[in-house]
Amino acid sequence: MISPLTVSGDPDEAAIRKLVEHILGGECSGLFVLGGCGEGAWLTAKQRAAVIRATVQAAAGRAPVLVGVMLPAAGPAADAARQAADEGADAMVIGSPYYYPVDSAVQERHVEAVLNTVPLPVLLYNIPQCTHHALSPATVARLARDERVLGIKDSAANFEAFQQFLAVKQRRPMFRVLQGDESLAAASLMQGADGLVPGMANFVPRLFVSLHQAATKGDAATCVKLQTTITDLTTLHGHGHWLPALKAACALVGLGNGHPSPPLAPASEENRQAIAAILRRHHVLH
């Protein structure tokens, strides 16, 4: 989920409620807040609390709320985990620590420190383009020995590594492997991924649900067709910075106002027009 903000920077609770209804109305099975799309690492503690609280209240038990604690070190991540638990989160999402160089042992201690802070399960998050450190398949396999580690969202766009994450399921079938890179959505599902955590599901949730359903049925032709649409929609991220572009797409369909957290600025009018043309091309915007 994106984090809709007012012009003054406060979480927009009305927009969050509308967004939750839109996503769940599209038959998505869960809500992930304060990740990359949700600007979790850039929001203040007060802002993060408001986003979690509003999402939990809007979900009203209809779907689990997973909260990103994507902070650079164990201490801040543990604080964020306590906050998430206090606000009603169902699970936490945590990746590699960052800023300083880290190895696999440091990554494992980071995850374990958060797990030992609150009695919530964890979904791992591999997003090296943001943390600058990948979670290796070997590291993930070791962390997966803990039943509190539910699975992994992989957004690294490394399909070879993704297939090795899938191999973890051979030892622990309930370990969930989720694809976060939209360009690999169909291929991942056809290879046995459990699901998707796509940013564009903010505004076209049913498109990704339909892809998941087609893959479950083994309908390769429909998967190819839907992936073609998804791949073309991802071109909207090339119009300025990807995050204001995503928020602009959401705003164009009535979800939030497009404002990102500073120092990012909203998409320019030129970029908004280009994004609108892409949405019209696929009948998302009429």
pLDDT at residue 254 tops 90: yes
- Asked if residue 53 belongs to a domain, the reply is yes
Instruction: Specify the CATH number for the domain of residue 71.
Output: 3.20.20.70
**CA dihedral sign, ordered 184, 81, 41, 6:** positive
Per-residue pLDDT at 23: 98
pLDDT tens, residue by residue, 21-44: 999 999 999 999 999 999 999 999
pLDDT at residue 9 tops 90: yes
| Contact assessment for residue 121 and residue 160, using Cβ atoms and an 8 Å cutoff | no
Per-residue pLDDT at 82: 98
Per-residue pLDDT at 140: 98
Per-residue pLDDT at 54: 98
- Asked if residue 44 belongs to a domain, the reply is yes
- Asked if residue 2 belongs to a domain, the reply is no
- Asked if residue 178 belongs to a domain, the reply is yes
Q: 126 φ, ψ to 5°?
A: -100, 105
Per-residue pLDDT at 286: 77
- Asked if residue 284 belongs to a domain, the reply is no
pLDDT tens, residue by residue, 225-245: 999 999 999 999 999 999 999
Query: Cα(223)–Cα(235) distance, rounded to whole angstroms?
Result: 19
Query: Cα(163)–Cα(188) distance, rounded to whole angstroms?
Result: 8
pLDDT at residue 127 tops 80: yes
List the domain range (segments joined by +) for residue 138.
13-205
Looking at residue 145, its amino acid is R
When divided into structural domains, the chain yields a total of 1
- Asked if residue 269 belongs to a domain, the reply is no
- Asked if residue 189 belongs to a domain, the reply is yes
Looking at residue 86, its amino acid is D
- Asked if residue 272 belongs to a domain, the reply is no
**To the nearest whole number, what is the mean pLDDT of the chain?**
98
